[in-house]
Structure 1
């Protein structure tokens, strides 16, 4: 009994470490695109007419190259526990649901992924709000001096803990298709590679005779495709979340803080589908595809290094 408990404890700790590292590496990789996306989504007045490349050039010219990483410190504080919780929760939910929907079914991967996403975002959402506020600031117009100051100011001036969770409902609504599809697509594509093109995409697993693990290029491709599919479905709710998080920074946008469906209607009515609910989608593909690809690939590599991945036997 004690041996089993020790193995389970080691399994959880190792997964938490793998997930946290994967999240930090992937988010830092796309941090400049993340900041531009936030500025475009929330219609920052300095970036009203900008696209992806012009937005990046404008930040470098008017602020500094380091300004592309503004808010990334808060992102790292948030992303380690978020990604660690998400990946570890997925492994645990996947174990629990294994075989529930019958042999060969992959629906358990979707449910496990969605549940893992909901678990992680519930625990770390206030840090995402703070990170968005910091990333939205323009040099010379700072409202917050850092993570702690932003947290205290939002809590005191905007309604306590509720303010830190503003935009939480659309986040939960978007997390189900986003996390569910991300994990489902990655696991399904991974299984497909191992089943149909193992000689091109896999190598034997050192821990499991007959088991296979994906090669790095295959990991990146599977992760990128999974990210593209998930973002296509959930993006409007991501825009809604950002507008609600940033609503109280200006009286002109305060009406975006009144509720999820009210905010959705306001965005659609004022800006339409393409320039409203899907504004910044091009940059989102540019960031989401490499981000999810790097995230899954780093996680799988860390699992292999720590002897957690025993490979898949078909």
Structure 2
């Protein structure tokens, strides 16, 4: 561990939890405007669906002001801190256990997938709330006044607790390659940097341990984000369609992810349906994952773990 004195298992878990939460909040706040526009494009908002990235940003500002870029961000932070905290903390624990069983690359990939699934299981209802709030447009019909009101209304009008898990299965399916590839790609690139590019990518800690410099962490994280998003994006579209089905004009009320997937492909095609908003997702995901990993690595140095 990155400390000159031993760190107890309890302290390591708590510190990795805190470091992960901070990393997630920094990453999501950095890309919140892009994240909101992505949701509006994915869900084919009447106001924004015909616009591209530049036009979408301009329209959000004209219709809602600068606050429009951060609509739903409060719900996002409520979800993101525990989500990222659980994901990074559980990744460290899964990796430790699985590598003790078999020291292979597949174990790192599996550790990332399990960490992503664990984080989703604990925080998915907050993702539904955040998507609903982000989809609302100022000046149009406002269904929800805030996080608590959204919870109450969805629970009362859409079938109770099950309503908060619409789109859960495709989310888990998408999380398996997304989280797995994110962590695996970052760890692989990190190892390559520490092995072959020591002089330009690493810095030595107070106890002599080599760590990635922030620019190197950002680069490795950005590549990891691009790889993971490319593979998992279609299932992300299906997830958003299911989460927003009750409030979007074109909402398909099918509750099975395969039926929603079929509906999207039949109506819009593979590229126009499953990869709608993909370009903006690259602009969003690459810096988001980059900032997330870089901040986590920095927090590990600060917390000496």
- TM > 0.5 between the two? yes
Once the two structures are TM-superposed, the CA of residue 99 in structure 1 deviates from its matched residue by 4.6
Residue 176 (structure 1) aligns with:
176
Q: Does the C-alpha gap of structure 1 residues 72 and 223 become closer, same or farther in structure 2, counting only changes over 3 Å?
A: same
1:287 and 2:278 equivalent?
A: no
Taking only aligned residues, the RMSD between alpha carbons, in angstroms, comes to 1.3
1:264 and 2:265 equivalent?
A: no
Residue 243 (structure 1) aligns with:
241
Aligned residue runs from structure 1 range 16-95, under 5 A: 16-95=17-96
1:170–1:260: 8 Å Cα contact kept in structure 2? yes
Once the two structures are TM-superposed, the CA of residue 48 in structure 1 deviates from its matched residue by 2.1
Residue 118 (structure 2) aligns with:
119
Residue 133 (structure 2) aligns with:
134
Unaligned runs of 5+ in 2: 1-6
* 2-structure distance, mates of 1:301, 1:41: 33
Once the two structures are TM-superposed, the CA of residue 62 in structure 1 deviates from its matched residue by 1.2
Residue 196 (structure 2) aligns with:
196
Unaligned runs of 5+ in 1: 1-5, 309-314
Residue 164 (structure 1) aligns with:
164
Residue 312 (structure 1) aligns with:
none
* 2-structure distance, mates of 1:256, 1:219: 42
Once the two structures are TM-superposed, the CA of residue 98 in structure 1 deviates from its matched residue by 1.7
Secondary structure of 2:192 counterpart: helix
Once the two structures are TM-superposed, the CA of residue 294 in structure 1 deviates from its matched residue by 0.1
2:83–2:122: 8 Å Cα contact kept in structure 1? yes
1:234 and 2:232 equivalent?
A: yes
**TM-score (norm. length: structure 2):** 0.95
Aligned residue runs from structure 1 range 197-212, under 5 A: 197-207=197-207, 209=208, 211-212=209-210
Secondary structure of 2:203 counterpart: strand
* 2-structure distance, mates of 1:257, 1:45: 21
- Which structure exhibits the higher relative contact order, with contacts defined as CA atoms closer than 8 Å and separated by 6 or more residues? 2
* 2-structure distance, mates of 1:218, 1:138: 38
1:221 and 2:211 equivalent?
A: no
Secondary structure of 1:47 counterpart: coil
**TM-score (norm. length: structure 1):** 0.93
Once the two structures are TM-superposed, the CA of residue 258 in structure 1 deviates from its matched residue by 2.4
* 2-structure distance, mates of 1:196, 1:294: 23
| Deviation sequence 1:21-70 (CA, Å, 0-9, x none) | 00000000000000000000000011121011110100001111111000
Number of residue-to-residue matches in the alignment: 299
